[in-house]
Structure 1
Amino acid sequence: MAHGDAALDDASQGVPPHEEHTTAPTRSLGDDLEALIEDAKTYVDAELSYQKSRAGFVANRLKQTIAFGAVAIYFAILATIGLTVGLIIALTPYLTAWGATAVVVTGLLLLTLLMVLRASKAWKSLMGAMQGDEEEPTDDG
């Protein structure tokens, strides 16, 4: 019997040629649950890897922020010292060296007092909010 004859024999028996050897795969509920558990494990592993890399990125950026912030504060302090010395030198012809020093130092101490009072007010507001005494915290800027 030739190959063409086999197809003719199947057709004569009522079996279409394209369906002669096809069977639908059977899956059980257990197989589906195993696949679901495996997919969940894969998702958890991927999420943990993502969060680890994200934490590493944040830690790196935090280190850079602290380093650059420290350098910026250092330069701001140097600029303030330069401004202080410059003000004393600029005011010396008008007030004498001691007078210029007294005016500049008094001005800086007044600014310091103002900042300490604002910090104290912010601290009291924070402590009131933590203890629940303050209904609505206010932000005075």
Structure 2
Amino acid sequence: MSTLREVQVTFDAADPGALAAFWCEALGYEVEPPPSGFGSWEDALRSWGVPEELWNSRSAARPVGGSGPRLFFQRVPEGKAAKNRLHLDVRSAPGLAGDERMAALEAECERLVALGATRDHRVEPDGRMELGFIVMADPEGNEFCLD
């Protein structure tokens, strides 16, 4: 018998705080609040004796209301070197089809580009299996799709 597990998606990043902020805006998430008893993460980190140069070594984002995976961002020294083997599909047009779907995806694409994402290419609906989507990258180059 299997046990239900929670899922956390972890991103390697050069700037965990900035990447967490992007994904919070993209998904309607919030930055994980500091532990109870602390007014800010800076207060907590200072209290724990964490050197200031490590304060942006990690960040986390969580869904408002608790539905969805927690996102964790960890600083790594190397930059992104190749295409992701795993990517997020941001479901921006559920239940829509055809021109209405693609218009909704284009509107979301414009919003995310204004936040620092990059548009790669658009795949058109084919009337059979393909509903259409837009391939993008977050501010650090991690690929994702607007689906």
Q: Give the TM-score range, shorter chain.
A: under 0.3
TM-score norm. by structure 2 comes to: 0.20
* Structure with larger RCO (C-alpha < 8 A, sep 6+): 2
TM-score norm. by structure 1 comes to: 0.21
Q: Which has the higher helix share?
A: 1
Q: Which has the higher strand share?
A: 2
